[in-house]
């Protein structure tokens, strides 16, 4: 029975990179049905809603979701803020689909070590940021402006249940890797972080085979630059994970290389997830064939692995990406002063190297 994949190309370069991910999925022979829908700024322009009810329902009925990117300056000043793509589409998608576990691998390809801002071996990293995605300050209430707009309030809230379920995912992924996990918080200042640390520490007794440590977020940000190779799995809350995963991504050479998976609980024995590159919509290069599709393609590989249990297809896609890079093929973001190929040419190159 074919997998039903909801395809949400979104805004800016989103449609371009998603097209290449679909090209590779079809080339790898995944038995899939693809149904497209509007989301983000393009959905607002067409319907007045950045997340139309039909799009949300399609996602609910799908086995997995492939998302491009949303947002851009065109929609940054919409009022109320719930009409802006990031607030009115991404956050509701995560909440409504219960996508609480964000998996962001950061892996340096050997062919691109010179593209890393870190020199030598320090630029060769292989880590995963496990980010809690549906709690914390991005979802806390109240969220308001007070005293004539001169004061603003955001609220950070976490429950023990929310922390336990993301920590379980972190420990499980650590077991599949090098069995090391550092939990990142701000327990010296924040009450939510103190609950986070207590909860993760208690849960760690159920995973004696995983080496658990704790680190304050400011120290972790520094250590990612000083010695990123020390990290295997980084477990952290929503806002800290947002920041740290982007920092880790830059070490690999480009945001255009990093995929992500946002996972919910199992449905009928399958893990439901939304898969997307971590980069934004990059409207300044949209429609010019300059976008790097590799993050979207690698997100499709994560879909095959996590939602469909097809590690063989995932491995084939990841090897094809590495072969294309080893052969010297580069989009503009990773080319330096060398020759470049277009978005579609990179997608063609990966599809041609599947084996």
**Model confidence pLDDT, tens digit, residues 108-127:** 999 999 888 998 888 899 99
316 and 247 belong to one structural domain = no
- From 251, 273, 305, the end of a domain falls on 251
Q: How far apart are CA 54 and CA 35, in angstroms?
A: 12
Told to judge if 242 belongs to the known catalytic residues of this protein, a careful annotator would answer yes
201 and 240 belong to one structural domain = yes
Number of domains in the chain: 2
* 176 confidence band (pLDDT: 50, 70, 90): very high
Q: Which of 212-226, 257-271, 306-320 has the lowest mean pLDDT?
A: 257-271
- With b meaning 16 or more CB within 10 Å and e meaning fewer, what string describes 257-296? bbbbbbbbeeeeeebbbbbbbbbbbbbebbeebbbbbbbb
The answer to whether residue 267 scores a pLDDT higher than 80 is no
172: CB partners within 8 A, 6+ apart: none
Told to judge if 209 belongs to the known catalytic residues of this protein, a careful annotator would answer no
142 and 240 belong to one structural domain = yes
122 and 240 belong to one structural domain = yes
Q: How far apart are CA 38 and CA 291, in angstroms?
A: 20
Quick: pLDDT tens for 44-53: 999 999 999 9
166 and 229 belong to one structural domain = yes
Model pTM score? 0.92
Does the annotation place 289 within a ligand binding site? yes
244 and 270 belong to one structural domain = no
**Gyration radius of the chain's alpha carbons:** 20
Q: Could you give the percent of the chain with pLDDT greater than 70? A: 100
The answer to whether residue 66 scores a pLDDT higher than 80 is yes
74 and 196 belong to one structural domain = no
Quick: pLDDT tens for 316-345: 999 999 999 999 999 999 998 889 999 999
User: Which sign does the torsion angle of CA 273, 275, 278, 281 carry?
Assistant: negative
Considering the candidates 44, 100, 138, 275, report the single residue annotated as catalytic. 138
Does the annotation place 291 within a ligand binding site? yes
Contact criterion met (CB below 8 Å) for 273 and 232:
no
- From 200, 230, 251, the end of a domain falls on 251
The answer to whether residue 147 scores a pLDDT higher than 80 is no
The DSSP code for 333 is G
Mean pLDDT of 267-277: 88
* 144 confidence band (pLDDT: 50, 70, 90): confident
- From 234, 251, 268, the end of a domain falls on 251
Told to judge if 11 belongs to the known catalytic residues of this protein, a careful annotator would answer no
**Res 169: pLDDT:** 96
Contact criterion met (CB below 8 Å) for 97 and 261:
no
216 and 304 belong to one structural domain = no
**Res 114: pLDDT:** 87
Considering the candidates 242, 310, 333, 348, report the single residue annotated as catalytic. 242
96 and 141 belong to one structural domain = no
* 268 confidence band (pLDDT: 50, 70, 90): confident
Quick: pLDDT tens for 83-105: 999 999 999 999 999 999 999 99
Q: Is 287 left (phi over 0), alpha (psi -120 to 50) or beta?
A: left
Range of the domain at 18: 1-108+254-355
In this structure, the strands spanning 64-69 and 3-10 are parallel
Told to judge if 126 belongs to the known catalytic residues of this protein, a careful annotator would answer no
Q: How far apart are CA 346 and CA 23, in angstroms?
A: 11
Does the annotation place 92 within a ligand binding site? no
Quick: pLDDT tens for 243-253: 999 999 889 98
In this structure, the strands spanning 64-69 and 270-275 are parallel
Q: Residue 22 sits in a domain of what CATH number?
A: 3.40.718.10
Told to judge if 185 belongs to the known catalytic residues of this protein, a careful annotator would answer no
194 and 68 belong to one structural domain = no
Considering the candidates 206, 218, 227, 265, report the single residue annotated as catalytic. 218
103 and 166 belong to one structural domain = no
240 and 185 belong to one structural domain = yes
* 62 confidence band (pLDDT: 50, 70, 90): very high
Within 10 angstroms of residue 74's Cβ, the number of other Cβ atoms is: 15
Within 10 angstroms of residue 53's Cβ, the number of other Cβ atoms is: 9
């Amino acid at each position: 029975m074919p997998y039903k994949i909801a395809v949400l190309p979104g805004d800016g370069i989103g449609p371009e990179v998603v097209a290449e991910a679909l090209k590779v999925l079809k080339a790898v022979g995944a038995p899939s049905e693809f149904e497209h829908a509007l989301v983000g700024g393009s959905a607002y322009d067409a319907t007045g809603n950045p997340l139309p009810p039909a799009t949300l329902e399609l996602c609910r009925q799908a086995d997995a979701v492939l998302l491009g990117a949303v947002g851009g300056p065109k929609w940054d000043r919409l009022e109320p803020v719930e009409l802006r793509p990031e607030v009115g589409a991404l956050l509701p998608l995560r909440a409504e689909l219960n996508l609480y576990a964000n998996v962001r691998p950061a892996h340096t390809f050997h062919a691109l070590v010179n593209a890393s801002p870190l020199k030598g071996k320090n630029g060769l990293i292989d880590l995963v940021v496990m980010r809690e995605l549906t709690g914390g300050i991005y979802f806390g209430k109240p969220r308001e402006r007070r005293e004539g707009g001169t004061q603003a309030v955001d609220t950070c809230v976490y429950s023990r249940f929310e922390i336990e379920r993301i920590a379980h995912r972190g420990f499980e992924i650590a077991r599949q890797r090098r069995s090391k996990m550092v939990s990142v918080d701000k327990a010296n200042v924040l009450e939510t972080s103190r609950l986070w640390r207590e909860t993760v520490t208690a849960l760690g007794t159920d995973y004696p085979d995983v080496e658990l440590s704790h680190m304050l977020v400011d120290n972790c940000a520094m250590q990612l630059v000083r010695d990123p190779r020390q990290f295997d799995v980084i477990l952290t809350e929503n806002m800290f994970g947002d920041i740290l995963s982007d920092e880790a991504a830059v070490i690999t050479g480009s945001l255009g290389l990093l995929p992500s998976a946002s996972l919910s609980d199992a449905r009928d024995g399958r893990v439901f997830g939304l898969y997307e590159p971590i980069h934004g919509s990059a409207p300044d290069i949209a429609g010019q064939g300059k976008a790097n599709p590799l993050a979207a393609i690698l997100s499709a590989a994560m879909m095959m692995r996590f939602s469909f249990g097809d590690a063989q297809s995932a491995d084939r896609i990841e090897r094809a990406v590495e072969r294309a890079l080893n052969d010297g093929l580069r989009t503009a973001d990773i080319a330096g002063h060398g020759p470049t190929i277009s978005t579609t040419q990179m997608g063609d190159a990966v599809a041609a190297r599947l084996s």
